[in-house]
Amino acid sequence: MESRKIRIGIDTGGTFTDIVAVDDETGAIVTTKTPSTPSDPAEGFLTGIEKVLEKLGESGDSIGAVSHGTTVATNKLLEGKVENLGFITTEGYEHVLEIARQSVPDGYGNSYFWVKPDRIVPADRVKTVGGRLSFDGSEIRPLDEGSVRAAAQFFKDHGIKTIGVCLMHSYADPSHEERVRDILDEMFPEATVSISSQVLREYREYERSITTLVDAAVKPNIRNYVNNIANRLREFSTADGESRDIPFYVMKSNGGVLSAKEVVHQPITTVLSGPAAGALGAALIADAAGVDQVLTCDGGGTSTDVTVVVRGEPALTTEGRVGNYPSKIPMIDVVTVGAGGGSIAWMTPERTLRVGPQSAGADPGPLCYGKGGSDPTITDAHVLLGRIPPHLLGGEIPLDTELARKGLEQLASELNLRFEECAVGILEVSAWNQANALRQITVKRGLDVRDFTLVTFGGSGSLLACKLIDILGLKDVLVPLDPGNVSAFGLLTVDVRNDYVQTHVGRHDRLQASELQELFDTLAGSAEIALAEEGFDETQRRYARTADLRYMGQAFEVRVPVGEGAITAESMDAAAEAFHDAHRELYGYDFRGDPAQHVEWVNLRVSGIGPIQRPAARTVASGSGASSARTGSRQAYFDSWVDTTVFDRARLGAGDTIDGPAVIEEFSSTVPIHPGFSARIDTHGNIRISKTSDSNGAK
């Protein structure tokens, strides 16, 4: 793909917008942060571009591409702002949303009562249409177009302009759904419509219905947001004063990017775009450092996102959730906990301390921001304990410690605690919240957390690194260069990617290689068209085939790779063997060789991949001793108030070591090193933190 020399990655978070730019000609990388602008996210976006161009001494004419991670879709769902939504389904299945699934979050044992979440579409806005397809796509009854027109008229009369369509077995034949869409377009052209055969061509009617409705719900917001930014990007003019379209990509939950003009047609794919970029950026950094068993911890202003990376590849899932809604789209397997820098500390009616999930966000933000915040937050606790300096972004944002102290002392008084005890308690609760999320993606899935290196990043991600080593027994923590910008950096490391799926259920011993080949070829054809539209020629395109397999009678599947080349009996058997292996790894057993247990193929998948140039791994010069990076000291509280040395990370070199207590500061992040811990700088400039003594100081 033809490009100019500057590529920019922009990750918009709840508190800050992070920006990384790379010059592909020189390899230079510059980073910056700017406060997010919730009322108009495009403002922070464009301000960030201006900042990095100024640092590089370049104009807008030099921009080759912009990649963006956005939380627009996620926030709409998390805030519960799904309204004015209609649903069309097959006659007799109007209660599919009400029935849902017999599953209770965290089990019945953790709560005396459990109430189903609100339906995404009220019952009076569900309309059914006549007609029926069989599971294999054959028509049992033709579509009743009269009932479709009646549904369209109802939605038009009631001003319901966002509509999801999910008909029985449309994954096998989309013709009925496509006709419903055509009638809606004809009678109600102002409506936004999503059909399940385009959003998720898989079986399981409830999940397919919800995924389609979520896609429809976020489509207007994503379309308006992306189009607004694309239009404003044209403000960066060429040298001769003529505006131009700057290539603009949006991060998807599956670990790839897609052009803005295409992503508006599949907006649900962006629901976890920011966390996905962070996981990929951390994976690349860890891989360059020779670490292949990684847990990532991305701490922002509102939440912390964690995931598992093995041999450079983040774990993928199609069983994710966004808020209360299941989402079957392929996504990096991210677990989110409400433990960000802006998470609010509060007292329960039982007079116990809790932290989050409520957040002060960017506006008004923590008390110390001085913007009208009324509740103490994790950031307030850190600044009052001396763990972070009394300012952010190298002094750009001063922090009001007196405001923070007043709020924290009030909470401490209510809890009958000393001020320091309350602040330490806030950080302790926050650390355990993060640790439990990390256990959820490891211990609960049969992985030993002690086998992993934790990579911490984000503005608040590294503040509790030492505490997490203690709680989880981790071997070490890796803090990358510019940790506050790792998600934005990750946006520059990912390929264009589109995923296609087709349900095709059949016993392994009865399936023919030719029928699988035909279906895989159809999916690959769709991927080929999409990559061609993105500007990739035949020599650049790559395709990855996978399939979801299970033992007959099981309810859920395991995904395995299907080798390149023609589908043969041998390649099918190899996929079945891979399934046995994966099943044993996941569940501790398999039925390999048991004639009574048949393997069943369920879903076929093809990913079309258009590679994008990745930035080279950064290296740093050998250090001359950590003392040369010393900038002073201040009182900081760990188990008591101690004089704590402060270091400038930019002046640390490879081989330099620091023993705690210490604080390492840089523009976008701060790393407290507790007593009994040490930090070493590796050749890539990463901080490697490990424990050197027990809690009593013994070596």
Tokens linked to 344 = 């609010």
248-251 and 320-322: which strand pairing? unpaired
Q: What is the pLDDT of residue 103?
A: 63
Which one of 104-113, 237-246, 406-415 scores highest in mean pLDDT? 406-415
Give the gyration radius of the chain's Cα atoms. Answer: 26
Q: What is the pLDDT of residue 80?
A: 59
Rounded to 10 degrees, the C-alpha dihedral 398/402/403/407 comes to: 140
Q: What's the whole-number mean pLDDT along residues 670-691?
A: 96
What single-letter DSSP state applies at residue 377?
B
Does 670 have pLDDT greater than 60?
yes
Does 124 have pLDDT greater than 50?
yes
H-only helix segments in 385-512 = 401-414, 419-440, 465-472, 486-490
What pLDDT digit, counting tens, does each position of 58-111 carry? 887 888 889 998 776 666 665 556 778 999 999 999 999 888 876 665 554 444
Q: What is the pLDDT of residue 45?
A: 85
Residue type for position 346:
W
Q: What is the pLDDT of residue 204?
A: 87
Task: Kindly report the three-state secondary structure assignment for every residue of 327-363.
Answer: ECCCEECCEEECCCCCEEEEECCCCCEEEEEEECCCC
Q: 3-state SS of the chain: helix, strand, coil percent to 5?
A: 35, 25, 40
> In the structure, what pLDDT confidence band is assigned to residue 14 with cuts at 50, 70 and 90?
low
The residues that bridge with 600 in the sheet, in sequence order, are 507, 550
Going by C-beta distance under 8 Å and a sequence separation of 6 or more, which residues neighbour residue 627?
Answer: none
Q: Residue holding tokens 């019952």?
A: 123
Residue type for position 657:
T
Strands, DSSP E only, in 38-168? Answer: 63-69, 85-90, 126-129, 132-133, 139-141, 162-166
> In the structure, what pLDDT confidence band is assigned to residue 115 with cuts at 50, 70 and 90?
low
Nearest to 554 by CA among 506, 600, 507: 600
- 3-state SS class at 95: coil
The domain made up of 496-610 has a fold known as Dna Ligase; domain 1 (3.30.1490)
**Alpha-carbon span 314 to 162, nearest angstrom:** 34
Measured over the CA atoms of residue 380, residue 74, residue 338 and residue 299, the dihedral's sign is negative
Burial of 470 (0-12, 13-18, 19+ CB in 10 A): middle
Q: Residue holding tokens 């809890």?
A: 415
Going by C-beta distance under 8 Å and a sequence separation of 6 or more, which residues neighbour residue 442?
Answer: 295, 308, 448, 449, 452
Q: What is the pLDDT of residue 470?
A: 95
Angle at 592 between CA 586 and CA 595, to 5 degrees: 135
Rounded to 10 degrees, the C-alpha dihedral 37/43/48/54 comes to: -140
Q: What is the pLDDT of residue 360?
A: 82
248-251 and 63-69: which strand pairing? parallel
> In the structure, what pLDDT confidence band is assigned to residue 543 with cuts at 50, 70 and 90?
very high
Burial of 446 (0-12, 13-18, 19+ CB in 10 A): exposed
What pLDDT digit, counting tens, does each position of 508-533 carry? 999 999 999 999 999 999 999 989 98
**Number of alpha carbons in the 13 Å side-chain half-sphere of residue 434:** 36
Average pLDDT, the chain: 87
Q: Which residue has the higher pLDDT, 186 or 315?
A: 186
Q: What is the pLDDT of residue 257?
A: 86
Does 2 have pLDDT greater than 50?
no
Tokens linked to 341 = 């820098």
**Alpha-carbon span 635 to 95, nearest angstrom:** 62
What single-letter DSSP state applies at residue 168?
T
Helix (H) or strand (E) holding 150: helix 145-157
| Residues 673, 464 contacting (CB under 8 angstroms) | no
Tokens linked to 121 = 């579409």
What global pTM score does this model have? 0.81
Architecture (CATH level 2) of domain 272-494+628-634: 2-Layer Sandwich (3.30)
Q: What's the whole-number mean pLDDT along residues 454-481?
A: 93
Q: Which residue has the higher pLDDT, 232 or 590?
A: 590
Tokens linked to 105 = 């979050």
Q: What's the whole-number mean pLDDT along residues 128-138?
A: 93
Say which range, 239-243, 267-271, 483-487, has the weakest mean pLDDT.
239-243
**Alpha-carbon span 222 to 271, nearest angstrom:** 10
| Residues 11, 487 contacting (CB under 8 angstroms) | yes
The residues that bridge with 353 in the sheet, in sequence order, are 347
Nearest to 411 by CA among 383, 372, 374: 374
Cα dist from 447 to 89, 107, 201, 293, 669, whole Å: 41, 21, 32, 11, 30
**Alpha-carbon span 432 to 454, nearest angstrom:** 15
Whole-number percent of the chain with pLDDT over 90:
49
Estimate to the nearest angstrom the gap between the alpha carbon of 671 and the chain centroid: 23
Q: What's the whole-number mean pLDDT along residues 27-50?
A: 82
Which one of 62-71, 642-651, 662-671 scores highest in mean pLDDT? 642-651
Q: What is the pLDDT of residue 44?
A: 83
| Residues 9, 491 contacting (CB under 8 angstroms) | yes
Task: Break the chain into its structural domains and give their ranges.
Answer: 6-77+222-269, 82-217, 272-494+628-634, 496-610
Q: Which residue has the higher pLDDT, 82 or 456?
A: 456
Q: What is the pLDDT of residue 3?
A: 44
What pLDDT digit, counting tens, does each position of 331-341 carry? 888 888 878 88
| Residues 168, 184 contacting (CB under 8 angstroms) | no
The domain made up of 82-217 has a fold known as Rossmann fold (3.40.50)
H-only helix segments in 588-657 = none
The residues that bridge with 604 in the sheet, in sequence order, are 502, 547
Nearest to 6 by CA among 46, 55, 70: 55
Domains 82-217 and 496-610 belong to one CATH topology: no
Tokens linked to 284 = 């690349």
Q: What is the pLDDT of residue 289?
A: 92
**Alpha-carbon span 180 to 167, nearest angstrom:** 10
H-only helix segments in 234-321 = 260-263, 273-288
Tell me the DSSP string of 528-574.
HHHHHHTT--TTT-EEEEEEEEEETT-SS-EEEE--SSS--HHHHHH
**Alpha-carbon span 672 to 644, nearest angstrom:** 10
**Alpha-carbon span 558 to 236, nearest angstrom:** 47
What pLDDT digit, counting tens, does each position of 245-276 carry? 788 898 888 888 888 888 888 888 887 777 88
Does 436 have pLDDT greater than 80?
yes
The residues that bridge with 611 in the sheet, in sequence order, are none
Superfamily of domain 6-77+222-269: ATPase, nucleotide binding domain (3.30.420.40)
Burial of 73 (0-12, 13-18, 19+ CB in 10 A): buried
- Helical axes 401-414 vs 419-440, angle rounded to 10°: 90
Does 695 have pLDDT greater than 50?
no
What single-letter DSSP state applies at residue 686?
-
> In the structure, what pLDDT confidence band is assigned to residue 27 with cuts at 50, 70 and 90?
confident
Does 200 have pLDDT greater than 50?
yes
> In the structure, what pLDDT confidence band is assigned to residue 698 with cuts at 50, 70 and 90?
very low
Q: Residue holding tokens 């990076």?
A: 629
Going by C-beta distance under 8 Å and a sequence separation of 6 or more, which residues neighbour residue 260?
Answer: 226, 227, 229, 230, 248, 249, 250
Burial of 235 (0-12, 13-18, 19+ CB in 10 A): exposed
Q: Which residue has the higher pLDDT, 238 or 342?
A: 342
